Homo-oligomer: A and B are copies of this chain.
Amino acid sequence: MQKNKTLGDYLPFWKNLTAEQKHLLLSSLQERDYGRGNIIHSGQDDCIGLIIVTSGQVRVYIVSDEGKELTLFRLLERDMCLFSASCIIPSLQFEVMVAAETDLSLLIIPAGVFKALMDESAAVANYTNALMASHFSEVMWLMDQILNKKLDTRIAAFLLEESLLTSKPTLKLTHEKIANHLGSIREVITRILRYFQEEGLVKLSRGSITLVDFNRIEALAESSRK
């Protein structure tokens, strides 16, 4: 890969860097591939660095003491994430998991290198700011969903999102996985999907869900989105 060209493409602050800084970034930059399901980052101590998704799909989520999960957001191509470099921002005090949802490739800027750049360059620091703010905004949106929306609408929205990501009407998903995304539990998802099926919205079978009546699913999801 032509790292030089690529990086300038990914990083809005690239043009504000000195030649030395660019060189430092390029020479320390790592490329790494992960297989579907692999953990990229786990908890506070882990600090591989800032990641940039070049292909594939990443899931950022939290896990409670009892093992209940909740997806905070996903990263697609060109997205970046700070949480895998939480050690460079000491006041970021919470545990997140970052995992590969598909086979994927990342660029990794080592934590130490990025920290150095942040300390030197206001442009880098401000970009970091914007990045964290956008993650923060997604989490606040999620907070509103959890507190104020009914689960059926959230499931409907999630199913649509999935079929959009995979471009298929049939999703290879277990009820458990849906529960893990939405911060709910398997039994409740089963219950509601069953109801969806009775209503003719979806067709269920072991390990897969086929969206049948897109319009009505969308109508349901709408009331969660607004």
Contact = CB atoms under 8 A, between A and B. Distances in A.
Interface of A: 62, 64-66, 68, 70, 89-94, 118-122, 124-126, 128-137, 139-144, 146-148, 183, 226
Listed from nearest, the 6 A-B pairs whose CB atoms lie closest are A125-B125, A94-B140, A91-B134, A93-B137, A91-B133, A92-B133
A136 B134 contact: no
6 contacts: A68-B147, A89-B130, A91-B133, A92-B133, A135-B136, A136-B136
Nearest to A66: B148
Contact of A147 (B64, B94, B119): B64
B91 A148 contact: no
Given A128-B129, A134-B93, A136-B136, A68 B122 contact: no
A129 B130 contact: no
Contacts of A118: 122, 125-126, 129
A140 B146 CA distance: 13
Integer count of this chain's copies in the complex = 2
Nearest to A69: B147
Contacts of A94: 136-137, 140-141
Contact of A122 (B119, B135, B148): B119
Given A126-B118, A129-B129, A147-B70, A140 B62 contact: yes
Contact of A132 (B70, B90, B129, B143): B129
Given A68-B147, A143-B143, 4 more contacts: A128-B129, A136-B139, A146-B146, A147-B183
